[in-house]
A = this chain, B = another copy of it.
Amino acid sequence: MQDMAEQILAGNRRALARAITLVESGRGDHREQALALLESLRGHGRQALRIGLSGTPGVGKSTFIEAFGCMLTGLGLKVAVLAVDPSSARSGGSILGDKTRMERLVRERNAFIRPSPSQSQLGGVARRTREAIDLCEAANFDVILIETVGVGQSETMVAEMADLFLLLLAPAGGDELQGVKRGIMEMADILLINKADGDLKPQAIRTCADYAGALRLLRKRPQDPEGFPKALTVSAIEENGLEKAWEEMQALNTWRHESGNFDARRAAQARFWFEAEVRERLLARLTREPVKGAMKALAGQVEDGALTPSAAAEELLREHLMME
């Protein structure tokens, strides 16, 4: 593990890929190795800008990541792209699975693209993604893009791992604007209205103005300077507006660093994930023997009416989970 850690710190891509595979593994011995690796990587002092990116299918996420990622590598920055796709855990599919949709970025020396793990247990997605982020940060990437699809809790999860959160949107009629859930709007730092090109350009500009108006109605957040969150138009295909978007991200990031918000947010996120992991692993006891079997037997008695739900819960907690 010490060897692997040194290779990662030296920027070895193959070691990084192997390390991510290790943290994604469900095997007990792999888990021990992964924890040892992460421990030996602590204190490297490197800090990437972690950018979360969400958007519904069809909005142009892959094209945007390709264009934005190439622009960043063109500026000499090292870019890692990770994906969180809870649906792939069930379907076996994965976003970013088709790397050919990013054929330019995938060939860039300074880019590293990692598809969402498929067939993984849903509960562990967050932990594995956080650990993959840590590994990329240790490998000295400047920007880590974390892509997710606009479904369920995955956006909240990614927002809790990212320093900045981008929401990619398509040009839309005024009525459709309401379709974006308020909660998602409130998580976003920058809304990017994509497809501001060709026939859709006027509509993209109008949509952007509509969103800008909606954003002004939100209460100002303590983590934002004047003017944020904001809405911008981009064209991933024509590669327009990407520099401007990057400038805004840097401006926001600089402000948050100087105001202390950046560090405060990272600290709060670390605490959030610590508490989430404790809860998750505590509940996981119920799905392992011997508790699992005892719970099943008591559930049978509850179904038969021999025990009330509360009395059975009391017995399980006292006898099998060492609680008073």
Contacts and interface: CB of A to CB of B under 8 A. Distances in A.
A213 to B, nearest CB: 24
Contacts of A35: 310-311, 314
Nearest to A267: B303
A277 B35 CA distance: 33
Contacts of A278: 286, 295, 313, 316-317
B271 A303 contact: yes
A301 to B, nearest CB: 9
A275 B303 contact: no
A2 to B, nearest CB: 17
A304 to B, nearest CB: 7
B317 A302 contact: no
B279 A286 contact: yes
Interface of A is mostly: helix
A125 to B, nearest CB: 14
Interface string A237-265: 00000000000000000000000000000
A38 B310 contact: yes
Interface string A176-196: 000000000000000000000
B275 A295 contact: yes
Contacts of A274: 298-299, 302, 309, 312-313
A39 B302 contact: no
Contacts of A304: 267
A322 B281 CA distance: 12
The interface centre, meaning the residue of A35, A279, A302 with most chain B CB atoms within 10 A of its CB, is A302
Contacts of A317: 278, 281-282
Given A286-B282, A298-B274, A308 B268 contact: no
A224 interface: no
Interface in A103-145: 127, 130-131, 134
B127 A303 contact: no
Interface in A283-324: 283, 285-286, 295, 298-299, 302-305, 308-314, 316-317, 321-323
A268 B267 CA distance: 43
A152 to B, nearest CB: 14
Contacts of A228: none
A311 B39 contact: yes
A202 to B, nearest CB: 29
B281 A38 contact: no
Nearest to A285: B323
17 contacts: A35-B310, A134-B308, A267-B303, A267-B304, A268-B303, A271-B299, A275-B295, A275-B299, A277-B309, A277-B313, A278-B313, A278-B317, A282-B282, A282-B317, A282-B323, A283-B283, A322-B322
Interface of A: 35, 38-39, 42, 127, 130-131, 134, 267-268, 270-271, 273-275, 277-279, 281-283, 285-286, 295, 298-299, 302-305, 308-314, 316-317, 321-323
